[in-house]
Amino acid sequence: MIKKFRAGILLVTIFLASFVLVPATSAAAEDASVNNFSDSEVETYGIDGLTPQQVEEIESEINRIRDMPDIVNNCPYMPLLVATDEQKEIFLGYIDNLSVSNSEKKEMKKELKDIWSRVPDKITEKDYLVIEKIGKAITTHVEETYWADDQSVRWMSYAHRNLISAGVNLVYGNPTWAGWAYNTAMDPDTTIDTGSISVYVPTPLGFVPISLPKKCYYHYYNPDLSFGGAPGKCSSYAAQAKTYYGNQEYQNAFGTLGIASHYLSDVAQPMHSGGELGSLVDYLQNWDITYHIRYEQYVNNNWNTGRNFGRWVTQNTNVNTVTDPAEAVRSMAAYSNPYSSLLWDEIYAHPNFDVPGQDTTYIQYVTIIMNQEAAKYNAGLAEYISS
């Protein structure tokens, strides 16, 4: 069985979809170097109601998820297994509202509590069918109850464009160069990665050839599976940008850098480095589904206003040195991947998170530290092309 493949032999139709080696220390332990912020605001990332103790608790939870054995990581709907006590109570409440008999509700709650009591060391593959059934029922309930009227939307441009333009400004102090990178940062979504590609996808039975949308395969990298095309794409365009820079073709250099940055920034979104609840094939073929889209729309809507996530990018002063763009993508993905379970749990436990004022400290925290780390790597990628 492929290590940490979150499927077992089950193929699950899921209702969600599509946002280097890293230091062992957590993001919370790093000094968030930004201008004009007080020490207390840096420590808690400017999040109302978030205390330093809660930051430690969140990172402790992430470390717990990182340390889960393969039998847990491979389980369908794995985030349910690692839910916090608060999230567990909410999920049990969802079961009370399912359109099934009272005896079925009672049995489902009993089974789920039993499974929770045996995490992490006493889970077996016999539990997989049970957790799949319950997980699918909970996600369907949330999506039909809270998100039934959703319209399909695209991931907006603020994050991608601001991440690379801020990086160029930090490294070179040249707004014109930053503008060239800004203008092309969305090209992989709009003009470059259209259509499909046939790739071999890892499954418990081996690698299976399948046709996937290019925007899924090339905008994704799962470090547990060493699968996804984002590292190669970033490396290819970064090499072209480096050549242009060496030839003093600066508009071509920074325009191409903007394209390269898209693949690096994408894997900072935890759903682009993990998030599959069952079959990886199902996950990638159902990329543009509610949970994924709602989160990205939430980030976009709160980029310059509301939670103002963009400030953590535009005021970043740190550079993560990049010597190998492909490795930078892999490292960014390794950083973001463990947060995918926490993010799934929080979004499904708080389905109105995207209503102004209804998001949680967990969701804000994950969003800030992912974009903060992505800003450092984008600056490093900008620096790389002139090195």
pLDDT, one tens digit per residue, over 162-185 is 999 999 999 999 999 999 999 999
Distance CA 253, CA 247 (A): 9
- 87, part of any domain: no
In a domain, 310, yes or no: yes
Q: Which portions of the chain are predicted below pLDDT 70?
A: 1-42, 149-156, 278-279, 287-289
Angle at 215 between CA 210 and CA 219, to 5 degrees: 100
Q: What DSSP character marks residue 352?
A: T
**Into how many domains does the chain fold?**
1
Report the alpha-carbon distance of residue 167 to residue 314 in Å, rounded: 8
Has residue 103 been placed in a domain? Answer: no
Residue 38 within any structural domain of the chain? yes
So what's the pLDDT on residue 36?
52
Q: What pLDDT sits at residue 150? A: 56
User: Does residue 145 lie in a domain region?
Assistant: no
**pLDDT of 233:** 99
212, part of any domain: yes
Range of the domain at 378: 27-75+151-384
Distance CA(26)–CA(24), nearest Å, equals 6
Percent of the chain residues topping a pLDDT of 70: 85
> How many CB atoms within 10 Å of residue 192?
16
Is residue 327 included in any domain, yes or no?
yes
Q: Examine residue 67 and state whether it is found in any structural domain, yes or no.
A: yes
* Phi and psi angles of residue 161, each rounded to the nearest 5 degrees, phi first: -70, -40
pLDDT of residue 17: 35
Q: CATH number of the domain at 289, please.
A: 1.10.575.10
Phi/psi of residue 194, each to 5°?
-100, 160
Q: What is the pLDDT of residue 278?
A: 66
**pLDDT value of residue 156:** 56
Spatial separation of the C-alpha atoms in residues 80 and 87, rounded to whole Å: 9
